[in-house]
Amino acid sequence: MDQRNFTEWQPRYSVGNYELDNQHKKILSLCRQSIDGIDDNSREGIVSFHLILNDLAEYADRHFKTEEALLAASGYPLPAQHIEEHLEYRCKLTELLFDATSGRVDKDSLQRYLAEWWYQHILTSDMQYAKFIRAVGR
């Protein structure tokens, strides 16, 4: 799994919903920014890295709310499982933010986590609801 190149949008990432795809693109951009800034140990770089992680947490939360509303409207049969994955991500990102604030970020783990989350959640779990979401848009 390429831990840097996953952040380049590809058509196979699409769930077939304009709003969710654009939100996923923004999440990818924030992932890329956090990965790119992870090695900048200057004062400005550290502050910027913390801000990017915070933006990622806030934007992901907004995205999850949008996605969960669409899941409910679409009749997707496994919303509880999907919402649980969102909760796990929120908890992990909160942990990462705390570690970053206290100067204990494991940079390799962060990169690996973001890449694994993208591949496991977005490209696996989100693809399971794609046909339900597309049906609502018609």
DSSP string, 6-43: GGS--GGG--S-HHHHHHHHHHHHHHHHHHHHTT--SH
Decide if 53 is inside a domain. Answer: yes
1 band by pLDDT with thresholds 50, 70 and 90:
very low
Total domains present in the chain: 1
The pLDDT of residue 115 is above 80: yes
Residue 10, burial from CB neighbour count under 10 angstroms (0-12, 13-18, 19+): exposed
The domain in which residue 61 lies consists of 18-137
For the question of whether the overall pTM of this predicted structure is more than 0.85, the answer is yes
Give 75-110 pLDDT, tens digit per residue.
999 999 999 999 999 898 888 878 877 777 777 778
Decide if 60 is inside a domain. Answer: yes
25 band by pLDDT with thresholds 50, 70 and 90:
very high
The pLDDT of residue 14 is above 60: yes
Decide if 55 is inside a domain. Answer: yes
Residue 31's CATH number: 1.20.120.50
